[in-house]
Amino acid sequence: SFTLAIVGRPNVGKSTLFNRLVGKRLALVDDQPGVTRDLREGAAKLADLRFTVIDTAGLEEITDDSLQGRMRRLTERAVDMADICLFMIDARVGVTPSDLVFADILRKRSANVILAANKAEGKAGEAGVLEAYSLGLGEPISMSAEHGEGLHDLYTALLPLADQFAERAEEDAPETDVDLSEEEAEDPDAIPMPTKTKPLQVAVVGRPNAGKSTLINQILGEDRLLTGPEAGITRDAISLRIDWNGVPMRIFDTAGMRKKAKVQEKLEKLSVSDGLRAVKFAEVVVVLLDAEIPFEQQDLRIADLAEREGRAVVIAVNKWDIEEDRQAKLKALKESFERLLPQLRGAPLITVSAKTGRGLDRLHDAIMRAYEVWNRRVSTAQLNRWLSGMMEAHPPPAPQGKRIKLRYMTQAKTRPPGFVVMCSHPDKVPESYSRYLVNNLRIDFDMPGTPIRLWMRGQN
């Protein structure tokens, strides 16, 4: 588990959030003389996360001149005690000079800062939320501790960090608990296999009524989520830990996130932004389409985002059970896919029925395969043999008489795979030639279901 410190200047709403996270599980540590006298500590609960939260609000009533200095020291102590810091500002007031002082402490002392703009309910906080970006601490979570808004976002921001600390705890565990599959991961080229502490993160995204909840229920094999014909009926967890065919996974259920939508008109917009969030934390994104109305604007937007965010992508076409002329339909789907989502070329398209469970094993295999390819590393020797073959078959053009020489190629990163080609005149290599390389790289090294990045660099 981990410790979260809520820090920020007085009156931004730290205690309100503290109380919300802790509820009645307060463990006052005031009686430990000298150490944490002004810090409150409690056992916090947020969805399935359990952690310790500390609050620096103890000084808020003090108004004498020493406040600034004491608050500062107290904050530094809290920051040093914590694994993760939640830095809170007041969205209604905007960024103040003392916020800058706290931001500075955090930048210097904490590796894991989550920025929150509180009191952001209604319109009054909008400008403050935007201003918060200027602190240089990343994207602010807009929340209202008072009204309980933004807790989903806090959860999604905490999740990857929480996983990191869970992992560290695992490392501290006695030898007998060591999982063999993790030992094997020492080979740098090996694909990191999902484990209990590091499950494969999968997001199921798609329009309302595409069948996301039905699909997740079917995978779970029990009626855990509520599904029905109305859009927005689902209410349940934000992410679910499951073992699907023996693989530990965490499934982000964007349908579950929708419960925030209070009025029906907001639904479309919300499910898009929830989907966006899920994409950010996923390793593999399953874009679930409704076979009756596939490739709607909303589907295209989210699929495009998944590509731009560099996630592995699997397209699943649902409600295949009610399809009559499946062959013709599949052909049409593939054509639309190619035309509407050329940037996702190579992503597998799997037909499923969330209702009957048909196609789910194939979906599972496609997810695993996309994950594997997303992590794939190709050796430099192989790449360079391949590159000279490519140049022979189709040499780069010579714009304005400048001959472009491709000298050398190497894989710079994985998740998704990214390659660097060292060449003369990198800025003169036409887009079409890069595309030619990427398309063939995908085919020759068999890499469906992942974005591939390629950079042209000059030698210096």
Report the nearest approach of ligand GDP to the CB of residue 102 (Å): 41
The answer on whether 36 is annotated among ligand-binding residues is: no
Asked if 298 is part of the footprint of ligand GDP (rule: CB under 6 A), the reply reads no
Please, which of residues 1-40 interact with ligand GDP by CB under 6 A?
A: none
Backbone phi, psi, residue 254, to 5°: -70, -20
Residue the block writes with tokens 């499910």 = 271
With contacts defined by CB under 6 A, name the span among 43-51, 207-215, 243-251, 430-438 that binds ligand GDP.
207-215
Q: Is 189 left (phi over 0), alpha (psi -120 to 50) or beta?
A: alpha
Question: Residues 195, 198, 202, CA angle at the centre, nearest 5°?
Answer: 100
Cβ proximity to ligand GDP, 355 vs 362, nearer residue: 355
Is residue 450 annotated as involved in ligand binding?
A: no
The structure tokens listed for 16 are: 């309100």
Q: What does the block give as tokens for 236? A: 């349940």
- Per-residue binding letters, 327-366, with ligand GDP (x by CB under 6 A): --------------------------xxx-----------
Name the token pair of 233. 């009926």
Shortest spacing between CB 341 and ligand GDP, in angstroms: 19
Check whether 15 is labelled as a binding-site residue: yes
Contact 374, 312 (CB under 8 A): yes
Distance CA 369, CA 313 (A): 10
Ligand-binding annotation for 227, yes or no, is no
Nearest residue (CB) to ligand GDP, 272 versus 387: 272
Contact segment (CB under 6 A) with ligand GDP among 143-151, 204-212, 305-313, 383-391 equals: 204-212
Q: In whole angstroms, how close is the CB of 321 to ligand GDP at the nearest point?
A: 5
CB 149, min distance to ligand GDP, A:
22
Among 38, 149, 321, 323, binds ligand GDP (CB under 6 A): 321
What does the block give as tokens for 150?
A: 């933004």
Least distance CB 262 / ligand GDP (angstroms): 17
Which segments within 231-311 are labelled E, that is strand?
239-244, 247-253, 284-290
Annotated binding residue 9: yes
Q: Strands, DSSP E only, in 14-139? A: 40-46, 49-55, 84-90, 113-118
Q: Using CA atoms, how far apart are residues 237 and 182, in angstroms rounded to an integer?
A: 28
Binders of ligand GDP among residues 246 to 285 (CB under 6 A) are: 255
Q: Which residue has the tokens 């995204």?
A: 205
What kind and span of H or E run contains 349? strand 349-351
Write down the least CB distance from residue 353 to ligand GDP, Å. Answer: 4
- Helices 431-444 and 380-393, axial angle in degrees (round to 10): 120
Q: Which residues have C-beta within 8 Å of that of residue 248, sequence separation ≥ 6?
A: 194, 195, 196, 198, 199, 200, 241, 242
| Interface with ligand GDP (CB under 6 A), residue from 27, 322, 328, 332 | 322
54 to 83, contacts with ligand GDP by CB under 6 A? none
| CA-based nearest residue to 320, from 204, 215, 170, 446 | 215
Residues from 219 through 238 that contact ligand GDP (CB under 6 A): 227-229, 231, 234
**Residues annotated in the binding site for GTP, as ranges?**
8-15, 55-59, 118-121, 206-213, 253-257, 318-321
Chain residues that interact with ligand GDP, rule: CB under 6 A: 206, 208-214, 227-229, 231, 234, 255, 318-319, 321-322, 353-355
